[in-house]
Amino acid sequence: MLTSLILGCVLVHDAYGDHCFQNRTTCGAGGPTKELAVTDMQHFCLFLPPVEGQTIVDSEGCCEGVSSPGCTRAKTNCVPVSTDAVAFCTSAGYTNGARAFPPNLFVSGHLVRDTANKKIQITGKLTPGVWLKPGDDGGQFDFTGTGQYQVNSPPGGKPIGGYSEYLSIIGSNEYCIQMCSSHYGCNSDNDFQGCQVAIPGDYESPGFTEAEGTIYRQNSPEPGHPEEKPKKQVGPPKISQGPSSVPSPGSIQGKRVSPPVVTNEPSRKVLDVFVR
């Protein structure tokens, strides 16, 4: 993962980089185990380590070679490897090759759908010790930006359902994911700060809910200080309808679903599966 900070002509990279510029074989390519969808609280996906107990950072798939400490893979021809994160969803096969979430992974989850701005997000708590390494501070997965500022972690990771960008952080027993339908709609610059800064939302309320509202794009840290919070932060979504309590993730059985297409692309089914 690479954090790109665009203020004036400044570009700041963090220590675990994977930028797409001149890395042109897998960036946002999708394919088996590399596609995410968010439809509702019963039908969504996250990237997680492929092996129980593996750290998030080790599954980010850094491809910067010697230019970023901790990276061992070259930035050119960065093909996915077995340690890279894979898609887990509320049902196996919900996206191409996705696994089912481990049982009892989620403590809470709160979805906000911003229909006007074509964004969607989920924020909530995870059960300590389920699948993830206990005490893991976590890391970030993303596909945002354009040109030399485009970033992608894990390599090949792609949002589907009409969304063109996504941002997700897993760590410290919290999770968050935001999908956006325009370039720079999601801001991946706050990976050092964790979910509550990067994707403001409801992390404290119990249970699972869905709401309609306005999702705000978070600001970036000051140039040269990616480890600091933005000087001016946006707040959580402004709720216009709801929240309404809903069943826990994956608990609705036998429902045929497709992620809604939210752009002006030709109408087509990007996903059509039976959910267990």
Residue 118 within a domain: yes
pLDDT at 75: 65
Report yes or no on 95 lying in a domain: yes
Contacts of 258 (CB under 8 A, 6+ apart): 39, 161, 269, 270, 271, 272
Evaluate if residue 69 carries a pLDDT over 60. no
d(CA 125, CA 140): 16
**188 within some domain:** yes
Strand positions, DSSP E, the chain: 35-36, 38-40, 43-48, 86-89, 99-100, 108-114, 119-125, 139-144, 151-153, 158-159, 165-171, 174-180, 207-214, 238-245, 256-257, 273-274
DSSP state of 195: H
Domain assignment of residue 75, yes or no: yes
pLDDT band at 25 (very low <50, low <70, confident <90, very high): low
- Neighbouring residues of 46: CB distance < 8 A, sequence distance ≥ 6: 36, 87, 88, 89, 101, 168, 170, 175, 177
Q: What's 57's DSSP letter?
A: H
Mean pLDDT of the chain: 83
Share of the chain above pLDDT 90, in %: 57
pLDDT tens for each residue of 101-155: 999 999 999 999 999 999 999 999 999 999 999 999 899 999 998 877 788 889 8
| Cis peptide bond N-terminal to 154, omega within 30 | yes
* Nearest partner of 3 among 259, 187, 255, judged by Cα: 187
Q: Pairing mode, if any, of strands 139-144 and 165-171?
A: antiparallel
Structural domain tally of the chain? 1
Phi/psi-derived region of residue 198, left when phi > 0, alpha when psi is between -120 and 50, beta in every other case = alpha
Q: Which domain holds residue 118?
A: 35-251
pLDDT tens-place string over residues 197-222:
999 999 999 999 999 999 999 998 88
Q: Does residue 239 lie in a domain region?
A: yes
Contacts of 208 (CB under 8 A, 6+ apart): 41, 106, 108, 109, 110, 124, 245, 246, 247, 248, 249
pTM of the model: 0.84
Q: Does 262 fall in a domain?
A: no
pLDDT at 94: 95
pLDDT at 151: 84
What's the CA gap between 159 and 155, in Å, rounded? 12
Q: Given this model, what pLDDT does residue 163 score?
A: 96
Torsion of CA 231, 214, 101, 159, to 10 degrees: -90
Is 140 within the bounds of a domain? yes
pLDDT at residue 195 in the model: 97
Q: Which of 89, 119, 95, 78 is nearest to 237 (CA)?
A: 119
Asked if the structure places residue 63 within a domain, the reply is yes
Is 59 in a helix, a strand, or coil?
helix
**Please, where are the H alpha helices in the chain?**
56-59, 195-198
Cα end-to-end distance, the chain, whole Å? 33
Please say if the pLDDT value at position 63 is more than 80: no
